[in-house]
Structure 1
Amino acid sequence: MADEHWVFGYGSLMWRPGFEFLERRPATLHGRRRAFCIYSVHHRGTYERPGLVLGLAPGGATRGMAYRIAEPAWPEVYAYLVEREQPTETYVEARRHVRLADGRRVDALVFLSDVRHPQWAGALGLERQAELIAGATGLSGRNVDYLRDLVAHLREEGVRDHAMETLLGLVERRELAAG
């Protein structure tokens, strides 16, 4: 409908959107995959000790959540999303089709990883990701807590992301070893 907007979330927007919505539906975005592919120097790390945050890297598909926003609320929701998702402008705003679990296909605002941004980490191996996440802390807290929240909330939504679960195990082992 012309008087509403959709937003696609694949990380913390799935469980902590922070805005009013009319509808929340499981959804899949094709052509992008959930990945810890962005160095975090704000929310989950610092310039001196970067962590990693999620991005939508090229390839694959991502199961997430789509939110329908009414037109009157859109300017405020959009401003909030830009402030939340773009502190260092590591994402590119885009409109992409997502498939809702009920079969509908909608056009949604998504924040894609900017592969040309200096914070783009690219396709790091799981061991390197674990090394960066373990011990990193930023304005929003510990990096490992972000990963734990992600895995727990994905499970609650019925999504088993084996790469994220393996990564969590690697990070937890590193943190135990560090004492």
Structure 2
Amino acid sequence: MTLITHKNGDDLWVFGYGSLVWNPGIEVAEIRRATLTGFRRSFCMWSIHHRGCEADPGLVLALEPHEGASCAGLAIRAADPEAALVALRERELISSAYYEQEVTLLCEHGESLRSLAYVIDVAHQQYVPDLTVEEQAGIIARAIGGRGPNHEYLSRTAEGLQARDIPDADLDALVARVQQILATA
């Protein structure tokens, strides 16, 4: 796999659509709301490290290629591009289910910029497409991994998007269903 080395001048931008929204894990110089076309935010990746384990995997969000789709999120400019790449790769490429891809983001004021994005490898064994909302909710409500409960990842992502005025009705519906399951457990 070839790793991305592209920078806009001296800048490195990364697209945040999930946990990078609320926990970038890098020193941030600037944030802009942005949209990526041709992909959707989807709970389509088994989490066997951070929000689940191999015996009982959780689910995490991934950028899933999807014709006609778009994903609203954040363009995040790293304060220290080299340190950011090291930290992001350690976090995002832990099992090779994601790969790095250069993408073009459309930012909130109409400008476009080149960015790094972590995209699901649809040939990887951790890719799990087309789960129903009920299946997703059941998995997320029970799974726990090295970084905590799977439901925490879901709720913190939804809260992070809401705080940035980035609506995601599907995510909000999933949060509500998981909360219902947890309330009856």
TM over 0.5: yes
Q: Percent identity?
A: 39
Structure 2 CA distance for aligned equivalents of residues 76 and 12 of structure 1: 18
Corresponding residue of 1:69: 78
Superposed, 1:148-159 pairs within 5 Å as 148-159=155-166
Equivalent of 1:108 in 103, 107, 115: 115
**1:57 equivalenced with 2:71 (yes/no):** no
Q: CA deviation at 1:13?
A: 0.7
Corresponding residue of 2:130: 123
Structure 1 CA distance for aligned equivalents of residues 161 and 18 of structure 2: 9
Structure 2 CA distance for aligned equivalents of residues 16 and 91 of structure 1: 18
Q: CA deviation at 1:68?
A: 2.1
Structure 1 CA distance for aligned equivalents of residues 148 and 78 of structure 2: 29
Q: CA deviation at 1:36?
A: 0.5
Equivalent of 1:21 in 4, 19, 28: 28
**1:36 equivalenced with 2:43 (yes/no):** yes
Deviating above 2 A after TM superposition, structure 1's stretches of 4 or more consecutive aligned residues are none
Structure 1: gaps spanning 5 or more residues: none
Match of 1:55, SS state, is strand
Structure 2 CA distance for aligned equivalents of residues 3 and 144 of structure 1: 37
Corresponding residue of 1:139: 146
Structure 2 counterpart of 1:146, one-letter code: Y
Corresponding residue of 2:182: 175
TM-score (norm 1): 0.94
Q: CA deviation at 1:86?
A: 1.3
CA offsets 1:13-43 (integer angstroms, 9 cap, x no match): 1122121232211110011011110011100
Corresponding residue of 1:161: 168
**1:92 equivalenced with 2:115 (yes/no):** no
Structure 1 counterpart of 2:76, one-letter code: Y
Structure 1 counterpart of 2:150, one-letter code: N
**1:81 equivalenced with 2:83 (yes/no):** no
